[in-house]
Structure 1
């Protein structure tokens, strides 16, 4: 077994079969974990179930306490904390069993909170970037956008910005067009609304 000091408090243990995990130094002393020492299967099982599984679950709950996250975001955070894939799977299943983690709910909430500010396309890209399955994203978009079309949203933005198509000169029209493009709306939809208002 190889033991590497990560920082003042923690060590990383790598077993001969490639399994690795992180312990606090006090835990390492308790189990007599040191370079080249042997770790019995019983000791490993105890460390795994009594320390590592519980710690991964607590960490996952703690991450969800601060803010709602997607499964992909949680997995990434746990990997950064040097948790192994088996522990990550266990922790994810644990929080899912209490419905603390639900990508479909996350997607719906995200669409609901962003739809007045961004286009469907932009929201779709952002949710994909958060690791949410494409089907779940489409489902959330369909549910939340049933009442409003992209052009309705463009019209809302135009009104919010107090844009007047009749009084706007070419420069103002270009500025409004660029603003709406940055929001992720399609060029055709923007031009349709701006022409409609002229």
Structure 2
């Protein structure tokens, strides 16, 4: 009989039991879940260096922890839209092993509950009036969206005139060119650079509007 070795067992609050195995997999079971399993008594009393049949180990991963991971994924997506990378990371933080994370993500992808291209398009539509295309690209990459999907989303959704955006942001921040000193000019310039706008566009707008002293 094939078996996996238990390397750590920890009884935790709210009737939970943590298990770590010699293959590196970790998961937590509720006592109520354990009681529904074959060998329930031995599992409740299990200590380090005990062994678990592979068939039971796989049953737990598939029918208990895996199902719980899918429900958790659906719950997380009901609260807010996420990228595939963000969902994976959240499930890992919740203590689900990699095989259960992967299965949960594939499950929600089947029903289009996650779609990185859709996410990128929505993000661009919502933020493009305040951020440059370069800043949008950087933000989406940090969220785990692939470069090709970002480029596709930008090509389909980004319609903003970046120089017009710069002028609008200057106005919204009540920037007074007549009163601004060199320090204020530099502060505003750095603010726009952090938004991802090109230096040439920033200077062109500020000079055109007499917003910036000549270097």
Are residues 1:186 and 2:198 paired?
yes
Distance 2:188 2:54 in 1: 67
Paired residues for 1:83-162 under 5 Å: 83-145=96-158, 147-162=159-174
Distance 1:179 1:37 in 2: 59
1:21 match = 27
8 Å Cα contact 1:60-1:78 kept in structure 2: yes
2:16 match = 10
Tell me the SS of whatever aligns to 1:152. helix
Distance 2:51 2:173 in 1: 70
Number of aligned pairs? 196
Superposition TM-score, scaled by structure 2 size: 0.80
8 Å Cα contact 2:128-2:160 kept in structure 1: no
Cα 1:192–1:11, aligned 2, differ >3 Å: closer, same or farther? same
Distance 1:169 1:52 in 2: 60
Cα 1:18–1:157, aligned 2, differ >3 Å: closer, same or farther? closer
Higher helix share: 1
User: Which structure 1 residue ranges, 5 or more long, are not aligned?
Assistant: none
Paired residues for 1:30-69 under 5 Å: 30=36, 31=40, 32-33=42-43, 34-35=46-47, 36-69=49-82
8 Å Cα contact 1:3-1:11 kept in structure 2: no
User: Which structure 2 residue ranges, 5 or more long, are not aligned?
Assistant: 1-5, 211-215
Distance 2:155 2:200 in 1: 21
CA RMSD of aligned residues (A): 2.3
Higher strand share: 2
Tell me the SS of whatever aligns to 1:39. strand
Instruction: Please identify, of 53-62 and 26-35, the stretch whose mean Cα deviation from structure 2 is larger.
Output: 26-35
Question: What's the offset of the Cα at 1:22?
Answer: 1.8
Superposition TM-score, scaled by structure 1 size: 0.86
